[in-house]
Structure 1
Amino acid sequence: MDALTALLREAEEHHGAYEATAPAHHWSDWYAAYIVARSTGHSPADAAAAAGRHMATLPA
């Protein structure tokens, strides 16, 4: 549980930079992509980039 809490807080920190310039979106889409990337060994920066790429694939 503590690891998931820490990962969610980390995602929250990195999501802020995305949110500042992103179109309207649901935060859970970005968080899910970020958490999957981090869970598979990506760095925080790479996970944030992966989440951004994922968001670009979603319908507007």
Structure 2
Amino acid sequence: MDVRTLAKLLRETEQQHGAYEASAPEHHWSDWYAAYMTARQNGRGPEEAATDAAQYMQTLPR
């Protein structure tokens, strides 16, 4: 992945995370970002990736 593409994906991830963070329990942003970005790199759309990331967050210990 080139720098320009990665920067675009990071900006998208930041925007999607904002919606999640507004109602989520305390968490570390990097866990959500990693799950979201992995889903996007695997061909999932933005909404699907956000759902995948939220589901991933539920698997982490609190």
- TM-score normalised by structure 1 residue count: 0.98
| Residue in 2 that maps onto 1:18 | 20
Deviating beyond 4 angstroms after TM superposition, the runs of 4 or more aligned structure 1 residues are none
| Residue in 2 that maps onto 1:31 | 33
Structure 1 residue 42 displacement after superposition: 0.3
Q: How many residues align?
A: 60
| Residue in 2 that maps onto 1:54 | 56
Structure 2 alignment gaps of length 5 or more:
none
| Residue in 2 that maps onto 1:42 | 44
Structure 1 residue 24 displacement after superposition: 0.5
Structure 1 alignment gaps of length 5 or more:
none
| Residue in 2 that maps onto 1:4 | 6
> What is the alpha-carbon root mean square deviation over aligned residues?
0.4
- TM-score normalised by structure 2 residue count: 0.95
Q: Percent identity?
A: 58
